[in-house]
């Protein structure tokens, strides 16, 4: 018996209860949790049991199975992982600035409309990094209708992203020019400036549910989001995204992800960079 299994738990978590939680996670988030994630599940959900004054995981599973909206939101917040940083995977932003934005300037010259979706935006660093790239190219898009939609399943990280407040250390790797798009608050925090915030709309969205928006996206960043989804969920999700893009629009995915045998609607044109096929 391992040390972990030998510990006396505050709330025992049986194999059947863990399997039921895994089923609920898959149903509500699309994440296929491995059997090895039992300790992670316990550590993240035991706080909810204490908060709700429940006597065990069976009672918590019953609560979730009743479809209690508020607790399902807390459940998904607890399970999902949010790891991000400004200009993470910088080659994506280099390609966006140097190649994609000039193409969009030519392609959308008649409509003067630009739309980018940060799908799985976490605490907002990705969306604000996109906004900085657009502001750096603002001479190209003066007078254009430019918007970034940033969505995430976790309501808590969406609230953090919308506030745009970060520990000053989070900006340490940014150049002085890029840090200038942030103001400084008392207490050593940085806050996204008005120009950054004006470009981004943050919304809570479950990618597996209906998408309450219309129109197409010139660029979709869905990075390090589907890595825990099963193959069928990935296929369905990327086909839905393809339906929201036109030929030659771009999709960026995470460094550990691939569309190989997942979605035939895109062609690989760079390191985890795809282009929508006709």
pLDDT tens readout for residues 198-239: 999 999 999 999 999 989 999 999 998 888 788 999 999 999
| Domain assignment of residue 84, yes or no | no
Cite the active site residues: 44, 152
pLDDT mean across residues, the chain: 91
Percent of the chain with pLDDT over 90: 69
| Domain assignment of residue 108, yes or no | yes
**Pair type for strands 250-253 and 219-222:** parallel
Helices (H) and strands (E) in the chain, counts: 12, 10
Strands (DSSP E) contained in the chain are 113-119, 145-152, 165-167, 182-185, 189-192, 200-204, 219-222, 250-253, 266-270, 273-276
pLDDT-derived band at 141, boundaries 50, 70, 90: very high
CATH number at residue 122: 3.40.50.150
pLDDT tens readout for residues 153-176: 989 999 999 999 999 988 988 999
Yes or no: say if 185 and 167 are a contact pair by the CB < 8 Å rule.
no
The DSSP symbol for 269 reads E
pLDDT over 90 at 125, yes or no: yes
Same domain, residue pair 19 and 134 = no
| Domain assignment of residue 46, yes or no | yes
| pTM of the predicted model over 0.85 | no
Last residue of a domain, one of 31, 46, 79: 79
Q: Closest Cα to residue 148, out of 163, 166, 135?
A: 135
- By residue range, what is the domain housing residue 94? 90-276
Yes or no: say if 229 and 237 are a contact pair by the CB < 8 Å rule.
yes
């Amino acid at each position: 018996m391992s040390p972990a299994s030998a510990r006396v738990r505050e709330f025992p978590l049986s194999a059947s209860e863990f399997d039921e939680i895994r089923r609920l996670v898959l149903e509500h988030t699309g994440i296929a949790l491995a059997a090895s994630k039992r300790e992670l599940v316990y550590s993240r959900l035991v706080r909810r049991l204490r908060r709700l004054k429940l006597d065990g995981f069976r009672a918590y599973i019953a609560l979730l199975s009743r479809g209690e909206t508020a607790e399902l939101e807390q459940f998904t917040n607890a399970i999902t992982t949010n790891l991000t940083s400004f200009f993470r995977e910088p080659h994506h932003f280099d390609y966006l600035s140097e190649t994609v934005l000039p193409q969009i300037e030519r392609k959308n010259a008649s409509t003067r409309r630009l739309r980018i979706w940060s799908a799985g935006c976490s605490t907002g660093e990705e969306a604000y990094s996109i906004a900085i790239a657009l502001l750096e190219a603002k001479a190209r898009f003066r007078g254009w209708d430019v918007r970034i939609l940033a969505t995430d399943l976790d309501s808590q990280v969406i609230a953090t992203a919308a506030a745009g407040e970060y520990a000053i250390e989070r900006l340490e790797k940014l150049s002085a020019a890029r840090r200038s798009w942030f103001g400084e608050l008392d207490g050593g925090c940085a806050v996204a400036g008005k120009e950054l915030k004006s470009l981004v709309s943050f919304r809570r969205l479950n990618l597996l549910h209906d998408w309450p928006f219309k129109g197409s996206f010139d660029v979709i960043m869905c990075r390090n989001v589907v890595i825990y989804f099963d193959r069928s969920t990935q296929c369905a999700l990327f086909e839905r995204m393809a339906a929201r893009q036109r030929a030659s629009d771009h999709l960026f995915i995470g460094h550990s992800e691939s569309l190989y045998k997942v979605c035939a609607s895109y062609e690989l044109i760079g390191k985890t960079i795809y282009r929508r096929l006709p």
